[in-house]
Structure 1
Amino acid sequence: MNKVIRECVCWVVSYLLYTMVRQTRASAKTEPEVDEEMDVADIDAPKKAGPPASDPSYERKFLIARENTLSDSRFYQIRHPKNRAPCLYRINEKCCDEVVSVGEPLRSWFYGESVVSDGAIRLLSPVHPLFLALPYFIDSKCKFLELEEILSDSEYPSITILLQNDQFLRNVEKVTEMKDVCDTKVYRFNENKALEWISERFQRLRASLVDEDCLHKSIVDNGEVLDRYSFGILCDYLNPEMTALAKTHLSIRGPPTDENERVDMSMKRKAEDLYEDTEQKPAKV
């Protein structure tokens, strides 16, 4: 009987040992397969070369505006009054500002832990909304029309945003005649009134340049040079037709041919470059 028991115990022990050996061998076989799969994945993974990709969240532009004025800002593409090229403006009920870019071609900004490749600064420079509307009034000067009809532009319909601007609505009659027709106000461009209004803006700009002490003494001390300088800035907001009329109206004299004037024109915008980034020291007009 004892012999039978011993044989049974030996058989059970042998079976357990055999089972443990099989499990150990099976686990040893599967482990290299996992390692092999990992090695293949590492080989197939693309190698990253060069600097890390730019994070789109760091693509910023720097804008300078008056304090507490950006919360409700919206920007519109509207034709520039001089050359009719599209330009960016911020317009709402209370303001009309031109977006002017100031900077150099090869410049970047360090912002936090990132580098902003666009090194330009955008300034919001105030401009009188009537300047933007003048070309439209001139185009329709032969007849009385409603403001909605005058400020009509299929390419840049945002010009109608001027109808919500308080400054524009208060001053529109300074360059137009107004009539009431069947309880509807209609307007027509008046050249004489427009020239008087331009003359007022010219005198205001001229006085501002002197008061802010931003010009060289040689310009301020010479009345004719100061007039030409001020008129040059004002002309950036007038089309060629109105520029010629305003020059005659204001009696702006050209420089003598033998005069060698060296005038710093850094404030004067090149209007043909308005759609691209431009360099300008803003002046109120």
Structure 2
Amino acid sequence: MGWWNGSDGTRLLIAPDSNATESSGRLLSLLHPKSGTTTCYLFNNGVLQEINWFKQSYRSWFLGDYVCEDGRIFTATPVDPVFMMLPLFQEARMKKGDDPGKFRLLEEIIFVNGYPGYQYLLPVAENCMHVVCETKEIGSSIFFRLDDSKVLSWLSYKVRKLKETLPLLDKNYAAQDEKDTLADAVSILGEYVKDEPWLKLLCNNLNLNFPVESIKSQEMEVLQSSMETNLKSSNLFQGKNKSEKKSKTAKQTKKAKVETESRNIKDMFSRASRRGS
């Protein structure tokens, strides 16, 4: 599969569906729902996945029968397409003041000049946007209009699920105050939602101060460490935690394990070389 920006350099892409091919998977250039900047996503078998880039200069990857020495690796993780559609539906209803806005055809809403990738998401949008929209059927056509109360309920559900998950990632989350965990969950969600109006409305609904405080750096390390651990278990990622200075004892143990495995691999190649000579 060619890389989205046209580069000829070799990249390793790890996606949940390892059967992704050029016919079943497609790289799309879309607007990030928070920043509005052009971002690359993988659309494969009806699942939208966000692509994240890692570079470990001290690691190499096996790519088929050869080694990629500079450590470039991309991972693709599923993302709820409602996040991607929310800014489009917000703008499309042309809401003014207390007016709820206009109902629009789905084809009109997801048409973004210069970003044809949205057209591939048409079937997904039709299936998932009912959760945050009112709909009206006229003949064989279905018209959509974003509904504030539905969006707020959907965001609250996302926050609740995050709040339940965070304490399972690390003992630091389990030990902290429940309101701090709630604020962290909102902060994570805020990476995919614009501050106005949704994040502000969400904070008001949850009795949190707005703007919500950013996640502490230590907690961000926990999330990244958890993600790296999952990748290492697939034997495709042997990264090292970038934040050594703030690592806890448990992370130091994981790091030592990675380094030990690295030495074992080096020893294996050394023994193979001696036998060959």
Q: In structure 1, what is the equivalent of residue 32 of structure 2?
A: 80
- Structure 2, unpaired ranges of 5+: 1-7, 94-100, 225-240, 243-277
SS in 2 for 1:91: strand
Pick closer, same or farther for the CA change 1:118–1:154 going to 2, 3 Å: farther
The Cα offsets for residues 213-261 of structure 1, whole Å up to 9 and x where unpaired, read as 323425543101111111111111101212212221232347999xxx7
Q: Does the 8 Å contact 1:107/1:120 carry over to 2?
A: no
The Cα offsets for residues 156-198 of structure 1, whole Å up to 9 and x where unpaired, read as 1211221133xx4332111111001233110111111111011
Question: Once the two structures are aligned, what percentage of the paired residues are identical?
Answer: 24
Q: Does the 8 Å contact 2:190/2:199 carry over to 1?
A: yes
Q: In structure 2, what is the equivalent of residue 154 of structure 1?
A: 113
Query: How many residues are matched?
Result: 205
Q: In structure 1, what is the equivalent of residue 162 of structure 2?
A: 205
> TM (normalized to structure 2)?
0.65
Q: Tell me the amino acid that sits aligned with residue 102 of structure 2.
A: K
Q: Tell me the amino acid that sits aligned with residue 209 of structure 1.
A: L
Q: Which moved more, 1:190-199 or 1:156-165?
A: 156-165
Q: Does the 8 Å contact 1:140/1:150 carry over to 2?
A: yes
TM-superposed deviation, 1:110: 5.5
Q: In structure 1, what is the equivalent of residue 60 of structure 2?
A: 109
Q: In structure 2, what is the equivalent of residue 89 of structure 1?
A: 41
Q: In structure 2, what is the equivalent of residue 250 of structure 1?
A: 206
Distance in 1, Cα, partners of 2:129 & 2:111: 16
Q: Does the 8 Å contact 1:90/1:99 carry over to 2?
A: yes
Distance in 2, Cα, partners of 1:252 & 1:246: 8
Q: In structure 2, what is the equivalent of residue 41 of structure 1?
A: none
Q: In structure 1, what is the equivalent of residue 15 of structure 2?
A: 65
Q: Tell me the amino acid that sits aligned with residue 195 of structure 1.
A: L
Query: In structure 2, which of residues 166, 172, 181 is the aligned counterpart of residue 226 of structure 1?
Result: 181
- Structure 1, unpaired ranges of 5+: 1-57, 269-278, 281-285
Distance in 2, Cα, partners of 1:188 & 1:255: 27
> TM (normalized to structure 1)?
0.63
Q: In structure 2, what is the equivalent of residue 120 of structure 1?
A: 72
Distance in 2, Cα, partners of 1:244 & 1:183: 37
Instruction: Please say if 1:134 is aligned against 2:89.
Output: no
* Greater RCO (CA < 8 Å, at least 6 residues apart): 1
Instruction: Please say if 1:176 is aligned against 2:133.
Output: yes
Aligned-residue RMSD, C-alpha: 3.0
Distance in 2, Cα, partners of 1:185 & 1:215: 45
Aligned residue runs from structure 1 range 17-32, under 5 A: none
The Cα offsets for residues 13-34 of structure 1, whole Å up to 9 and x where unpaired, read as xxxxxxxxxxxxxxxxxxxxxx
TM-superposed deviation, 1:145: 0.6
Q: Does the 8 Å contact 2:200/2:211 carry over to 1?
A: no
Aligned residue runs from structure 1 range 182-201, under 5 A: 182-201=139-158
TM-superposed deviation, 1:120: 2.8
